Amino acid sequence: MKKPIRIGALISGTGSNLDAIVGACDAGKINGRVVFAGADNPGAKGLGKAKKANIPTFVVDYADIIRQFGAGTEQENEEKLPPDFDLDDISRKQSIAPFFDTNRVHTFLKTRGIAEAALLEKMGPYPFDLLVLAGFMRNLTPYFIDRVNTDPAHPKIMNIHPALLPAFPGTDGYGDTFRYGCRIGGCTVHFVDYGEDSGPIIGQSCFPIDDDDTIESVRKKGLEREWALYPECIRLFADNRLKTVQMTNTLKNGKIVQRTVVKIVRPS
């Protein structure tokens, strides 16, 4: 049997997905164990649950970092940046904030760079094979992603998103799905790339939205799907069954479309 994988988790809120993942590991459904749970805010309820399950926890307070940056002088802020922070490289790669003006993009990337360097430091003592974003409500920049994904052929950051991507990226997937009047809602697990909820899709699960549904009932239906889908995708990763490949298609007008996609390979 393959060695169990070490799973790191980042959360922002309730942590019900983290619970589902820990439960699936404990039940032997995932060949792995959760080695840390980090949060972007000290109020994340999931931290308490992780502590109860004897999982090491830590917090990097993003809001506080952003606030301090806003109050700091230019020189003070430059001094806070990690020594290996290359603004040009990160700006060129990122596609999270394409509509921001340059100043806003730079402030965004610098504040996140400071927070992400702190995250990497806190994660340091806990080596991991897979990092799962389990309701982590912060975009990760290329600064962080490149330092985790050291082998581009083997991405190792996964996210769960509360919508059927590529529809409704962003912070309120179920709300956006409901408000649009969709008849079907769903959730998506994907690898993280330099964009917002744009990385290669690993798995999706869907449910009907009926006339008497509300945003709350849609969210409830969705979360139940998430608790099954996320562990299943992590199981495939742990069993070495996820492969990223380049897919190339030529459209009728001759345009060539390329995208990295995930293939699920047979068990070896």
Show which residues are catalytic.
Answer: 161
State how far the Cα of 225 lies from the Cα of 162, in Å rounded to an integer: 10
Nearer to ligand GAR, 61 or 176 (CB): 176
d(CA 21, CA 15): 10
The minimum distance between CB 12 and ligand GAR, in angstroms, equals 7
When the beta carbons of 85 and 188 are compared against ligand GAR, the nearer one is 188
Smallest gap, in angstroms, from Cβ of residue 143 to ligand GAR? 19
Closer CB to ligand GAR, 206 or 223, in the complex: 223
CB of 83 to ligand GAR, least distance (A): 30
Rounded to a whole number of angstroms, the minimum distance from the CB of residue 254 to ligand GAR is: 36
Q: Which residues bind ligand GAR (CB under 6 A)?
A: 11, 13-17, 46, 134-135, 137, 160-162, 171, 173, 187, 223, 226
- Cα distance between residue 254 and residue 236, in whole Å: 36
Task: State the nearest-atom distance from the C-beta of 169 to ligand GAR, in Å.
Answer: 8
Largest interatomic CA distance in the chain: 58
- The answer to whether 206 and 184 are in contact (CB under 8 A) is yes
Q: For residue 208, what are its two tokens? A: 């009907």
Token digits of residue 69: 């940056």
Token reading at 215: 């945003």
Which residue, 15 or 85, has its beta carbon nearer to ligand GAR? Answer: 15
Residue/partner pairs of 257-261 with CB below 8 Å, 24 or more apart: 259/200, 260/193, 260/199, 260/200, 261/200, 261/201
- Comparing CA positions, the residue from 174, 232, 233, 234 lying closest to residue 207 is 174
Question: Which residue, 90 or 197, is less far from ligand GAR as judged by CB?
Answer: 197
54 Rama class: left (phi>0) / alpha (psi -120 to 50) / beta: left
Q: Give me the residue whose beta carbon is nearest to ligand GAR.
A: 135
- Closest by Cα among 71, 70, 44 to 58: 44
Q: 81 or 134, CB closer to ligand GAR?
A: 134
- Give the nearest distance from C-beta 43 to ligand GAR in angstroms: 12
Distance CA 25, CA 42 (A): 25
* C-alpha span between 3 and 240 (Å, rounded): 11
Taking Cα atoms as reference points, which of 149, 146, 103, 131 lies closest to residue 234?
A: 131
